[in-house]
Amino acid sequence: MLFSSHAAELWLQGTNGISWIPAAFFCVLAIACAHRGLSWAAGVAAVLGCLSSGAALPIWFVLALIAFLRNDSRLRFLIPGAIGVLVVVS
């Protein structure tokens, strides 16, 4: 399994840096949407970032912090925080 084509593809993506570029893009998009109060768009961008690479996993905590600093309702910062805990634990 170490030399399977999928493992080789993942190794190549990890060594040339291409795997985290979409994750970074979607994280920046999520942060921009969260700053503008577009929590649903920020959530979608965060999901896409997490699906792109594991480098995007902490974005949920960033979204929760942004909602907290914006003095949004409790659900707007508790939901991303809870999702972040579930993502990291799983």
Q: Which two tokens stand for residue 49?
A: 């970032």
Cα separations in angstroms, 83 against 15, 18, 43? 29, 26, 10
CA–CA dist 43, 37 (Å, integer)? 11
**Average pLDDT, stretch 59-75?**
94
pTM: 0.78
Higher pLDDT, 56 or 69: 69
Whether the CB-CB separation of 27 and 60 falls below 8 Å is answered with no
Query: What are the DSSP E strand ranges found in 1-90?
Result: none
**Residue 2 scores a pLDDT above 60:** no
Model pLDDT, residue 30 = 96
Model pLDDT, residue 22 = 87
Per residue in 9-56, pLDDT tens?
A: 776 666 666 667 888 899 999 999 999 999 999 999 999 998 888 888
Q: Which two tokens stand for residue 76?
A: 């707007």
Model pLDDT, residue 1 = 46
Q: Which two tokens stand for residue 18?
A: 């291409």
Q: Which two tokens stand for residue 1?
A: 């399994």
